[in-house]
Homo-oligomer: A and B are copies of this chain.
Amino acid sequence: MCDFMRRGFLVIGNRAKTKPFNLNDLPGAGRIDILCRCVSQALFLSHSIRRNAEIYLLLLGSPNPPKAIKFKGNEIRKTWPDERNIAGHINKALSFEVGEKWFKSEPGIFVAKKGLEKLLSELSENYEIYYMREDGLEIGSIVSRMENPLFVLGDHIGVKKEDEEIILNFAKNIVSVSKISLMAEQCITIANYELDRVQSQREREISK
C-alpha cells in the first residue's frame, strides 16, 4: 500500500489529566482510557502500524491544561495497541515540563503546552480539517474528495461550545460516520476504513 493519503486525528479529552496518573485507573484519570483507545485505533493494524497516520490528543483536565500530545505512526517504537501501554507513553510525556514548542518525549511521541487554536492553526498547514459530529455530512458522500484529512472529535463529553467555534473556523466541513452516537475510537476506525477504500480505489486507477 502506498502512503499518499496522509491522515490525522485530533481528540479532545475534556477532563483528561495533565500530570502523570495511576495506570490502574485510566477512567479515573479523566477518561484517559478513551484517548488510549483512540491512539490504538488510529495507528495500529494487525502486526503493523499505519505509517501515514498521526494522532493528536488535547488534554484539558487538571492540574495544568492545555497539554497536547502527538503520536506519529511512522516514528513510534515500543508502542503497542493495549490501553495500558499507550497510557504509559502518555504518562511519560506528561512527566516533562514543556513549553509551546513540541518536545520529543520518546521516538514518535511529542508533547507541548498548547491549546486548541494554536494546534489547529499549525495542523491546518498540512491537513484539510474536518469536524466529526453526528449531524454532519455522511462520510461516504465526501470521503472520495478528501486530501490529507484530519478529523477533530471529542471524547465522551463531546466538544464544548467555545471549542466548537474554534474548530469551525478551521474546518472544511462537518462529517458524520453514523446516525448512532458512537464512541470516539469507533469513529476513528470507520474514518480509516472509508479512507482505505478510497485509497485502494485510487491505487487501482493508477495501476490501470
Contact = CB atoms under 8 A, between A and B. Distances in A.
Interface of A is mostly: mixed
Nearest to A41: B186
A45 interface: yes
A26 interface: yes
Interface in A69-104: 80-85
B47 A156 contact: yes
Contacts of A184: 46
Interface stretch (A12-20, A119-127, A161-169, A189-197): A189-197
A39 to B, nearest CB: 13
A181 interface: yes
A180 interface: yes
A33 interface: yes
Copies in the complex: 2
Contact of A183 (B33, B44, B177): B44
Contacts of A177: 193
A99 to B, nearest CB: 32
Interface in A147-199: 156, 177-186, 189-190, 192-193, 196
A183 B81 contact: yes
Given A47-B156, A180-B1, A82 B186 contact: no
Given A178-B196, A179-B200, 17 more contacts: A24-B24, A26-B84, A33-B81, A33-B82, A33-B84, A37-B40, A37-B82, A41-B186, A44-B183, A46-B182, A46-B183, A46-B184, A81-B183, A83-B84, A179-B196, A189-B190, A190-B190
The 3 A-B pairs of least Cβ separation, nearest first, read: A33-B82, A46-B181, A189-B189
